[in-house]
Amino acid sequence: MDLPLSDFRRQTVEEFDTSKLLAHAARQATERGYKNFPIVDVDSHHYELESFHEILEYMEDPVLQQLAMSASQSGAKGNGVMPGGVGYQDMGGRVTRYPLRKLEKAEGDKHRDITLTKRWMDAMGIDLAVMFPSPMLQLGLHPQIEVEVALSRAYNRWLIDRVLSHEPRIRSMLYLPFNDPEASYRMVKEMGSAKGVAGFMVTSARHRPVHHNAYVKTYALLEEMNLPLAFHAGYNWNDQAMGQMNKFISVHAIGFVFYNMIHLTNWLMNGMPERFPKLKVIWIESGLAWLPFMMQRLDNEYMMRSSEAPALKQKPSDYMRDMFYSTQPMEITDMASLEQTFRMIKAETQLLYSSDYPHWDFDLPSTIYDLPFLTEQTKRNILGGNAMKVFNLDLPAGKMAKVA
């Protein structure tokens, strides 16, 4: 494969192997003794469009299925069916695993996604990973609600059938077709107990008020089933606000907190933590720096305008300390600020390690393990112990003992 470089140069690459790319990560895992305690990655990804034809086989609506199959056959996979488009995740080819992944060989009988996922998990020292899709993170922006429902149902059924049922180290929080509240409820009812399902996930890049009454029975069901609800951040360059920005760095930096800020604010100001006190809510892939801002901003306004949020019995930040957050992309730019953030969000019990691999801004477990202000126990809580409690996970006995 020829990689296009600057100045009209080309670099020819014949092979790609994740284990080789992550050899330094494997060394970190050995040096830090990750084998001695469980590491759970609550946000990782695969590229579902590489299996798009398989997924479309699971689509139940024959007309939509034929439409999607035909559109996909005509151009690139997902073309004409999936929203999204403009974006430069590969950083102009600088992050080489994006273009090179198609060269990677996956031997064995298991699905390619299982083989490749376990390859990077083994390199990083991760015992268990929660897997999410990639392009489908923008499916909530699809203009046809029925297509969001049909595609997400097909994806979830495929995922359970072809991946989760075959690999106990991979779990998922299934995609909720949030633009259709009834379909979301049915999804939880139907698939909430399936093998490998650790909860449900709302892709945050969308325009639905999360406090709407239409979602109440779904939240109640999730609470009853003890399944966490996650909001997975994403960007949307087509949003009018985001459209003012001309760089991917700008849209990514702001977009990945923008929607979660809105959803979190709605969630709090409408008293959802009081109405669903046992529902575990996880905010994924917005990093951590937004949290002190939100706590201070919302507390300050609440003290003056508490009449507008009468369901609250505590300050917004108090509820935020009961929620869960994934670590990545962790802003390690000012250690004192980061330490303060950990204190503010009660990281020792509420923070969940996430890699986001193989995406461009992934974080290794060492981003947590090497922090100078954490105790060994807190590191282990964040890297795995907290997630095991949130998801009621089972791991080999030796590793379980390390958590207890």
Partner 1 sequence: MPEIHVAKIAQFPDGERRIVKHDDREIGVFHWEGQFYAYENLCLHQGGPACEGVMMHRVEDMLGPDRTWLGQRFSKDMHFVCPWHGYEYDLKTGACVGDRSLKLKRFDVVRRGEDIYVVAG
Residue type, 256: F
Binder among 21, 220, 262, 344 for partner 1 (CB under 8 A): 21
Site string for partner 1, 289-318 (x = CB under 8 A): ------------------------------
Tokens of 133: 């899709």
Least distance from partner 1 to the Cβ atom of residue 379, Å: 16
Q: Which of 20-28, 54-62, 127-135, 220-228 is the region at the interface with partner 1 (rule: CB under 8 A)?
A: 20-28
Residue of the chain from 366, 378, 381, 386 that contacts partner 1 (CB under 8 A): 366
Q: Which of 1, 5, 76, 241 binds partner 1 (CB under 8 A)?
A: 5
Give yes or no for residue 250 binding partner 1 (CB under 8 A).
no
Options 45, 46, 77, 97; binder of partner 1; rule CB under 8 A:
97
Q: Would you count residue 1 as binding partner 1 (CB under 8 A)?
A: no
Counting contacts by CB under 8 A, is residue 245 touching partner 1? no
By CB under 8 A, tell whether 96 contacts partner 1.
yes
Are 82 and 135 in contact by the 8 Å Cβ rule? The answer is yes
Q: Which of 50, 61, 65, 93 binds partner 1 (CB under 8 A)?
A: 93
What's the half-sphere exposure (Cβ side, CA atoms, 13 Å) at 181?
Answer: 14
- Residue 379 engages partner 1 in binding (rule: CB under 8 A): no
Of 47-55, 87-95, 152-160, 383-391: span binding partner 1 (CB under 8 A): 87-95
Q: Which is nearer to partner 1, 172 or 366 (CB)?
A: 366
Single residue of 58, 259, 362, 391 touching partner 1 by CB under 8 A: 362
CB 228 within 8 A of CB 390: yes
* Sign, CA torsion 249/134/195/364: negative
Determine how many CB atoms are found less than 10 A away from the CB of residue 398: 11
Tokens of 299: 């507390």
Per-residue CA distances from 366 to 29, 259, 265, 269 (Å): 8, 28, 31, 36
Gap between the Cα atoms of 171 and 165, Å rounded: 9
Report CA-CA distances (Å) from 140 to 28, 95, 157, 236, 300. 37, 27, 18, 10, 32
CA distance between the termini of the chain: 49
Distance CA 77, CA 261 (A): 32
Nearer to partner 1, 126 or 149 (CB): 126
Instruction: Report the nearest approach of partner 1 to the CB of residue 175 (Å).
Output: 27
**Given candidates 1, 11, 313, 335, which one binds partner 1 under the rule CB under 8 A?**
11
363 sits near partner 1 (criterion: CB under 8 A): yes
Based on the shown chain and the rule CB under 8 A, indicate whether residue 45 belongs to the binding site for partner 1. Answer: no
- Of the candidates 270, 289, 54, the one whose C-alpha atom is nearest the C-alpha of residue 281 is 270
Task: Please report, for residues 69, 140, 156, 183, the alpha-carbon distance to residue 81 in angstroms, rounded to integers and kept in the order given.
Answer: 9, 13, 17, 19
Cβ proximity to partner 1: between 96 and 134 the closer is: 96
If the CB atoms of residues 157 and 359 are measured against partner 1, the closer one turns out to be 359
What residues make contact with partner 1 under the rule CB under 8 A?
3, 5-7, 11, 21, 23-25, 28, 91-97, 360-364, 366-367
